[in-house]
Amino acid sequence: MLPYRQGIMRLPLPEPDTSAVLFDCDGTLVDTMGVHRIVWSEIFARYDYTVTDDWWADNANVALLPFVRLVVPDADESLADKLNRESMAMYMEALHLVEPLEHVVEIARATHGSRPMAVVTGGYREIIIPTLDAAGITELFDVIVTADDVAQSKPAPDVYVRAATLLGVEPALCMAYEDSEIGMASARDAGVGRIIDIRLVDASS
């Protein structure tokens, strides 16, 4: 049985036979999604599109080109990349608004030093490192694997496979914390042994 804090269901800690612990970044370790929504709402407003709560909940984790095509159907990779670069610049200007998700970060802090840990993200390194720095948690992790490090990002398994390889462990002996369907699909297809959907637990303190 996975351990929980007494009195309220919380995130499970890694079990003793877990060789390495892997964390998604956006929406898992750090609450960045609100900032990303502000940024993309402003960008898509130029195309006379209003980002609603439901639309964002359904599509925030979609890969870049399909994501842009939801609003700009004829968008090609060049336009998607242009808009993404603009979104990253706008995000960096709002970096002060991001906050660590403490109910997940406390797992990383409790695990630090007992076994290797990695951040495994579909985001880009130039955004992820400043985000982790702003949250004050970069030094907790032995490895940070981003979309820049693989041929295909999430939902492909590449980022999780690479993280396990760099940590020198088998994916089956790893535990992953994720907040999205595409992230969990990536971990599952990489063969990660335990995958925790952080949306299913109580985040209250």
DSSP H helices, the chain, are 33-45, 53-59, 64-69, 77-93, 102-111, 125-135, 158-167, 181-189
Residues with a catalytic annotation lie at: 24
- Spatial strand order of the sheet with 194-197 comes to 143-145, 117-120, 20-23, 174-178, 194-197
Rg (CA), the chain: 17
Closest to 17 in 3D by CA, of 166, 168, 193, 160: 193
Q: Looking up tokens 């002996």, which residue turns up?
A: 173
**Beta-carbon contacts of residue 176 (< 8 Å; ≥ 6 apart):** 21, 22, 23, 24, 120, 160, 184, 187, 192, 194, 195, 196
Q: Report residue 18: phi and psi, to 5°.
A: -80, 120
